[in-house]
Amino acid sequence: MDQSSSSKRKRKADAMNEWEALELEKIAKVKEMYSKGVPFFTKDSIRNIHQQLLKAKTGDEISVLNLDGTSSKFKILNGEVVDGDEPKTEMVQIDPHIRYESIQGLTQRIDGAFTASFCPMPIAHFLEVRDKVTKEFCQRSKKHPNLPREEAEEFFKTCCKEWEASEPCKQLRSILASAQLPLGITKIVAFACSNFSRIITKKPHSSRGLVRPATQHALILTLRDILSKKDCGSSGEIECYAQDPVYSSLDKSILEQSGIKILSDPEGFLEVDESTVVLSFCPNVCVRQVVTDIARPAIMIWDRVLWNEDEMDGEPKTDPDSPRLKKMLQAFYEESEMPDDYDDANKSFGIKFGNAGIYIRKANAISRL
Ligand SMILES: C[S@@+](CC[C@H](N)C(=O)[O-])C[C@H]1O[C@@H](n2cnc3c(N)ncnc32)[C@H](O)[C@@H]1O
């Protein structure tokens, strides 16, 4: 090896070490802020980004306040086209949205790569892949066709009836009937319950309508019924809201007919407060970490916390447990298991809701906040 290439290597190694040291320092700072209780998500910061997004046109910049007081700028690239990851394809950037970063997302090192960042809510776009010449969407970007309207309405009605008649639903009613529920519940906000009125043609999962997402929405109606009959100290209707960017216009219209208002991201988060029941099952975003920072809802029915696992270690997850989430649940909530059907394939419960828990705020928890 000649001297010049050896010194080039050394300079590269020094630069790598310096960069790695800076990334590690950044991670340590983010972790320190986290352990000191600095909120990573606040309603004000979410609202501020939402208002900018509502007005933004392609080419505009969205400014997001970072945890260290600096700000990051994100260009709106809606409609811009970039080369695809396969020959003869291109990708169109669409739907600029908030990417909620979990504490793990901000501080993990995955396969040797750092994800260190001070920005808990960067702006991202979805990508649609299409043929460069014909402009036809490729298979993975093709939308599943909707059911005909009447069939979709009937499908949702049937799923609601089947859920209501099911053993897990009866068990849930009995758990909530015997629990001391917090007073003043006025609304239900459901996240990520997904699209149910489409046709899947891909074997072996081909189906006309999707039972699991439909049942998660049926749960909203069951809870509305339970809460409006139980004296929880609230007067008037229990408002129902659902937020999931994947809803088709058919889903939206069927849900609206049932009295469930559709909210676009991040309006669901802005609705969550002490008088709210929050639902969320296997979301693609860290719903539980966002909610933990912004409120102490009356009830949450969402993915169960794995108390014995180190949530800061292991495979990256979309809605990971976190030290703050565990602390909040331990201090303020009673936990019980969400009843569900048995899954023969996985030899576990969780066909309709996954491994979910019911978290009911303890009496007087609010006065201790
Ligand atoms: C893995 S699927 C789970 C769907 C369903 N809850 C279940 O248990 O089968 C994740 C869902 O999260 C939704 N999602 C992604 N970003 C979201 C956001 N910002 N707000 C609400 N839902 C979101 C997706 O559209 C998708 O429906």
135-159 pLDDT tens trace: 888 877 777 889 999 999 999 999 9
User: 134-166: buried (b, 16+ CB within 10 Å) or exposed (e) per residue?
Assistant: eeeebeebeeeebbeeeebbebbeebbeebeeb
- pLDDT by residue (tens digit) across 163-213? 999 999 999 999 999 999 999 999 999 999 999 999 988 777 788 999 999
Query: Of 281, 283, 279, which Cα lies nearest the Cα of 298?
Result: 279
Mutate to test the pocket of ligand 1, among 125, 215, 243, 244 (most ligand atoms within 8 A of CB): 244
- pLDDT by residue (tens digit) across 4-47? 777 888 887 777 778 888 888 999 999 999 999 999 999 999 99
User: Is the bond leading into 145 cis (omega within 30 degrees of zero)?
Assistant: no
pLDDT number for residue 172: 98
* pLDDT over threshold 90, residue 297: yes
* pLDDT over threshold 90, residue 231: no
CB neighbours of residue 351 within 10 Å: 17
Instruction: Tell me the average pLDDT across 321-350.
Output: 90
Confirm or reject: Cβ of 245 under 6 Å from ligand 1.
Answer: yes
* pTM score, whole prediction: 0.93
* pLDDT over threshold 60, residue 368: no
- pLDDT by residue (tens digit) across 254-286? 999 999 999 999 999 999 999 999 999 999 999
Tell me the domains of the chain and their CATH numbers: 15-140 (no CATH), 149-368 (3.40.50)
pLDDT number for residue 367: 61
Confirm or reject: Cβ of 243 under 6 Å from ligand 1.
Answer: yes
Residue given tokens 């960069």 in the structure block: 19
Mutate to test the pocket of ligand 1, among 246, 302, 317 (most ligand atoms within 8 A of CB): 246
